[in-house]
Amino acid sequence: MRIEEIEVYEWDSLDAIKEKAEVIEEVGNLDLFSSMSVFCTIGEDYFELIYSDTEGNYIRHFPDEDLFYRALRKRREEFGVLDRREGSDLEDFFE
């Protein structure tokens, strides 16, 4: 299976997709970092919208849910985001 990726030049294009999508999680923050990823779904399709101040902006389409969530976990690690969901390995850390 192959992940498809397309470069877009305007944040407006990413915003238009984001408005129509169900956002699963946003990772990063353009006020603090040079990029941000929005993981979302439209119907049965899985996407990562990548906003960047310094590089290209991209839309990534994942062929299945497993690859989508692996990419989300990888992006969390890159930004140093801890998993605060119930039942996660780090749940006790926040008590």
pLDDT at site 9: 93
Please compute the mean of the pLDDT values over residues 13-23 and round it to a whole number.
96
Q: Is the pLDDT of residue 88 over 80?
A: no
Full-model pTM:
0.80
Q: Is the pLDDT of residue 92 over 80?
A: no
Segments making up each domain of the chain, as ranges? 4-94
From residue 20, alpha-carbon distances to 16, 26, 40, 79, 90 in Å are 7, 15, 10, 26, 32
* Count, residues in the chain: 95
pLDDT digits (tens, 9 = 90+) for 36-59: 999 999 999 999 999 999 888 999
